[in-house]
């Protein structure tokens, strides 16, 4: 079986790695946080001391970290994957990263006989646990087919959207929609509250209509029931993702006023120290600025 390496054992990564191990693949892991390693080591994974060492002992390496700076450091930094890379190695980036970086790493590593591809994630931590995430893949057809059996251990749906970088581009467009909804719901609730429309009344009209969605339902599970676990995606990550969207638009010379307005709203919440709050809590932040509270 292919030897698998995994870097980044956070909320999503740990579940993905566990599902790959349950598929019977030998697993080596690297994460500077020892507490993240322990559960997988107990299940039979082997720890290594650097990304370089991980590349040396793996056929396929998965990266699942917060964003582009971390990906770049893991691949090209001191004791990075590139230093241990061998011909035939495939590196699969599951992070929400910058497509420009993805394409550059793909080109740079190709000179070593190494393939760098993206498999951006669609779904929730619950879906990660059950092995039912979406894998939004940017790769050539042959590389995808080579890694497909491993992807199938953790992805209920594999969507091939183009060459390297296309998966991250599509993920950013998805995040543009999601963070846009979060911003719109937050401002709509505050406008409604100032006009005498409660969140309950708002929900009675939207729920079950054409404007209903899975995102809406988990967002409003927090708004109405104050359930923080309903929609566990931090404002820090949301702000980072929508910043990448705005940067991509700028790079492509697209005048994306909406993307920049959404970016500015999330940035203002982060400036207030709300990075560890989850996206639905943006509704409370906007409401508080206008003397409104939904907590009751």
On whether the CB atoms of residues 214 and 223 are closer than 8 A, the answer is: no
- How many angstroms from the chain centroid is the CA of residue 204? 31
Q: Does residue 296 surpass a pLDDT of 80?
A: no
Of residues 88, 79, 36, the one with CA closest to residue 59: 88
In a domain, 296, yes or no: no
Q: Which two tokens stand for residue 181?
A: 């909804």
Which secondary structure element, helix H or strand E, spans residue 137, and what is its range? strand 133-138
Catalytic residue numbers, as ranges: 171
Domain end point (choices 132, 162, 192): 162
Q: Say yes or no: 153 and 10 in one domain.
A: yes
Q: Which domain holds residue 45?
A: 4-162
Q: Which two tokens stand for residue 89?
A: 């190695």
Q: What is the CATH number of the domain that holds 227?
A: 1.10.1040.10
d(CA 24, CA 109) in angstroms, rounded, equals: 28
Of residues 241, 129, 225, the one with CA closest to residue 182: 241
Q: Does residue 107 surpass a pLDDT of 90?
A: yes
Q: How far apart are the first and last CA of the chain?
A: 55
Q: Does residue 295 surpass a pLDDT of 90?
A: no
d(CA 69, CA 91) in angstroms, rounded, equals: 16
d(CA 174, CA 281) in angstroms, rounded, equals: 20
On whether the CB atoms of residues 72 and 128 are closer than 8 A, the answer is: no
Q: What is the CATH number of the domain that holds 106?
A: 3.40.50.720
Task: Determine which of 115-129, 176-190, 257-271 has the lowest per-residue pLDDT on average.
Answer: 115-129
Number of domains comprising the chain: 2
In a domain, 294, yes or no: no
Chain mean pLDDT for the chain? 96
Query: pTM of the entire structure?
Result: 0.91
Q: What is the pLDDT of residue 20?
A: 98
Q: How confident is the model at residue 161 (pLDDT cuts 50, 70, 90)?
A: very high
Average pLDDT over residues 133-159: 97
Greatest C-alpha distance within the chain: 65
d(CA 216, CA 184) in angstroms, rounded, equals: 11
Q: Which residue has the higher pLDDT, 295 or 217?
A: 217
Average pLDDT over residues 206-233: 96
């Amino acid at each position: 079986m292919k030897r698998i390496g995994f870097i980044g054992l956070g909320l999503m990564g740990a579940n993905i790695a566990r599902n790959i191990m349950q598929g019977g693949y030998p697993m080596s892991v690297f994460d500077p946080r020892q507490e993240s390693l322990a559960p997988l080591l107990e299940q039979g994974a082997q720890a290594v001391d650097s990304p370089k060492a991980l590349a040396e002992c793996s056929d396929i390496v998965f990266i699942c970290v917060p964003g582009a700076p971390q990906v770049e450091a893991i691949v090209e930094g001191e004791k990075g994957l590139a230093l241990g890379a061998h011909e035939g190695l495939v590196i699969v980036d599951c992070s929400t990263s910058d497509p420009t970086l993805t394409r550059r790493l793909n080109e740079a590593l190709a000179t070593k006989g190494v393939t760098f591809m993206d498999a951006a994630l669609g779904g929730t931590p619950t879906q990660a646990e059950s092995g039912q995430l979406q894998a939004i893949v940017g790769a050539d057809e042959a590389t995808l087919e080579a890694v497909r059996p491993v992807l199938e251990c953790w992805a209920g749906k594999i969507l091939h959207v183009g060459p390297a970088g296309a998966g991250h581009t599509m993920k950013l467009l998805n995040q543009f929609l999601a963070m846009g909804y979060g911003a719109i719901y937050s401002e709509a609730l505050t406008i409604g509250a100032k006009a005498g429309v409660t969140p309950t009344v708002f929900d009675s009209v939207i729920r079950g209509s054409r404007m209903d969605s899975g995102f809406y339902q988990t967002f409003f599970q927090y708004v109405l029931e104050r359930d923080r676990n309903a929609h566990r995606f931090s404002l820090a990550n949301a702000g980072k993702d929508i910043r990448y969207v705005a940067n991509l638009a700028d790079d492509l010379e697209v005048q994306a006023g909406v993307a920049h307005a959404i970016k500015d709203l999330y940035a203002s919440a982060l400036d207030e120290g709300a990075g560890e709050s989850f996206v639905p809590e943006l509704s409370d932040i906007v409401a508080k600025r206008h003397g409104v509270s939904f907590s009751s």
